[in-house]
Amino acid sequence: MEAETAPSEVAWWPATGSPPEPGAPIVVAVDGTDVAVAAVAGGLVAFDDTCTHRMCPLSEGVLDETSVTCPCHKSRFELATGRPLNGPATEPIRVRRVSFDGTQLLIER
Ligand code: FES
């Protein structure tokens, strides 16, 4: 993954380690919240790992290029916005900006 310049107007959480490999999301605690980071469609995505329906870990669900599907009851969330594309969840997940500067992951706080 190529290094990116992180916008300075965003408050970033620096996480040690390498970016995730495709198909193997990682979970990083950001200010006490579990955030899933995944490699999708040649880039990185980051979203709060807890499903808004009954709190299952979305990092254990199914990712495609545009959405993540919860492993428990199959709510599907749009990666661009976090909104649920189908129920039972009705509340969005938080999607965060993420970049890799060549040495560390930077996740929006
Ligand atoms: S916990 Fe995610 S859909 Fe129910």
Q: What is the pLDDT of residues 13-72, one digit of tens each?
A: 888 778 999 989 999 999 999 999 999 988 999 999 999 999 999 999 999 999 999 999
pTM, full prediction:
0.91
Total structural domains in the chain? 1
Structural domain includes residue 5: no
Q: What range defines the domain where residue 58 resides?
A: 12-108
**Which of 58, 11, 8 minimizes the C-alpha distance to 38?**
58
- Average confidence (pLDDT) over 71-82: 98
Quick check: helix, strand or coil at residue 56? Answer: coil
Ligand 1 binding site (Cβ under 6 Å of any ligand atom): 51, 53-54, 56, 70, 72-73, 75, 88-89
- Average confidence (pLDDT) over 95-103: 93
Query: In the prediction, which pLDDT does 3 show?
Result: 62
Structural domain includes residue 42: yes
* Closest residue by CA, ligand 1 atom 4: 73
* Pairwise CA distance, residues 57 & 12, whole Å: 23
Residue carrying the six token digits 């870990």:
57
CATH of the domain at 68: 2.102.10.10
